[in-house]
Structure 1
Amino acid sequence: MLWGTTFLIVHLAMRHSGPFFFVGLRFVTAGVVALVVFRRVLAGLTRQELFAGLAVGVSIFLGYGLQTLGLQTISSSKSAFITALYVPLVPLLQWLVLREAPRPLALVGIVLAFAGLVLLAGPEAGGGAVGPGELATILSAFAIAAEILLIGRFARRVDVRRITAVQLLSAGLLAWLVMPVLGETLPAFSWVWLGAALGLGAASVLIQLAINWAQRSVPPLRATIIYAGEPVWGGVVGRLAGDRLPPEAFAGAALVLLGTLVSGLRPQRRPDSR
């Protein structure tokens, strides 16, 4: 629920700030909060935890940076539903990277999600074309899928408090480091981006800590199905705020959500009647 409601807040903040300055402030704030709260355990930081935290931090930086970049030109509802593509992407990346073949239903979910993505992007992007906002959000979905897999790989072997602090701080600093490379300048002061960044920074500590803790016992594929609630809340909040999507986009959103659910189904075996 918290994750889904952030789409509209970021979308509004993008009227007053550049994407990477905002992402940097959001996650540096979160990282500083984590450093203060978990300061007593940070002395025990290991090399493995540092490496794991930096690896996940890079994926957070790419996921949120690209998503925020996309929110400059597309609505919060559309961003939420396109971001849902990361759910069927998790089994696909497990297959390509970890050599763990997905089940047939996961492949069906991938096909449904891609079909929904075409419908989502089509009406506002000139038929079958994908605009820059949609493309950035698609790429962010890949980064978020990588984040889920990395957390699932490291969660049981690290202290979640220490790795959370490293993840958040590294993601924020990376966002600030790329600003001059991309030509992004400091925005004029606004209470909108300041309040949004500080509020989302505090929320990010809770969200990331919960993810790191929960995925110690919840496998990546099941976790992604739980995360499927994110675009639902994002779409609901965006709709309440006045977002209007054409019928094709609603059909596409339904296919994306159907794909996320189908990819996590497990057919029950019939009991042996002998």
Structure 2
Amino acid sequence: MEDRQYRRMFEASPVAQALSDEHGLLVEVNNAYCQLVGLTREQLIGRSATVHTHSSDLELHSSVEDLMSAGASADRSVDIEARFVRPDGEIRPVLLTLVPFTGPSDAEWTLASVVDITDRKAVEDSILLASRTDPLTGALNRRGWLNYAVSVNFDDARDAVVAVLDLDHFKQFNERRGHAAGDAVLREFADIARRCIGEDGLLTRWGGEEFVVTFRNSDRARASKALETLAASTPAHLTFSAGYTVLRSGEGLRHALDRADLLMFQAKREGRNRMVTDPPQ
């Protein structure tokens, strides 16, 4: 097949394709690629794909050569997920399939086929969100909180307060009023809690009638005030018992949660309908 026919196929392909030289500069792009990145051929040729790659993904470019060498030695292509940024700021998640291409004088070029995976990522994100969210209240679930706990870093112990809340006598409420009424109360409690704890508060339904509130950028006094406001607004004349503690220097959120949980049980033992905290360190 002649080079002219190859070029026609390249241009007509519905798959976005780009050819880069040994320096990582684009030497050829097809129409589908131009449409994907929102730039013309003239704006692309002679430039690196870094010009339309998300800043957080630029490190991938520095490792492409190593990845291509590994792929070539294993006689396979290399797949990379990245994000392209169009001129209007729109971000397009893409899957790049990279294969070695022999350029002039046996130069090591790279042919990239690019698939827009925006829709796939949206589905994946919705599934991930659902797996970390309590379907009844819309709050984080236990899994979501645990993922959050290992991903966040507080440099200052005053930055966070963790509270564990348990609605008092909720089992009896369910038995008297029915589970539908109980579910409605849990939803209403979660809505009220979100308003009371504000933007820096993170609400989690830990299980049943037990909730965890993580106060970010807060201290003991501010957390106490928010919990008091919530206690005064609890629906259906219910009360809750709570334990709360300040995150200590050098510890993780899970340790603070365990301490708050013990304080919550102390509040239960002391008669319920109260909040208990530990002495400042």
Q: Give the TM bin, normalised by the shorter chain.
A: under 0.3
- Structure with larger RCO (C-alpha < 8 A, sep 6+): 1
Rg comparison, structure with higher value? 2
TM-score, length of structure 1 as denominator length: 0.24
Kindly indicate which of the two structures has a greater share of residues assigned to helix.
Answer: 1
TM-score, length of structure 2 as denominator length: 0.23
Kindly indicate which of the two structures has a greater share of residues assigned to strand.
Answer: 2
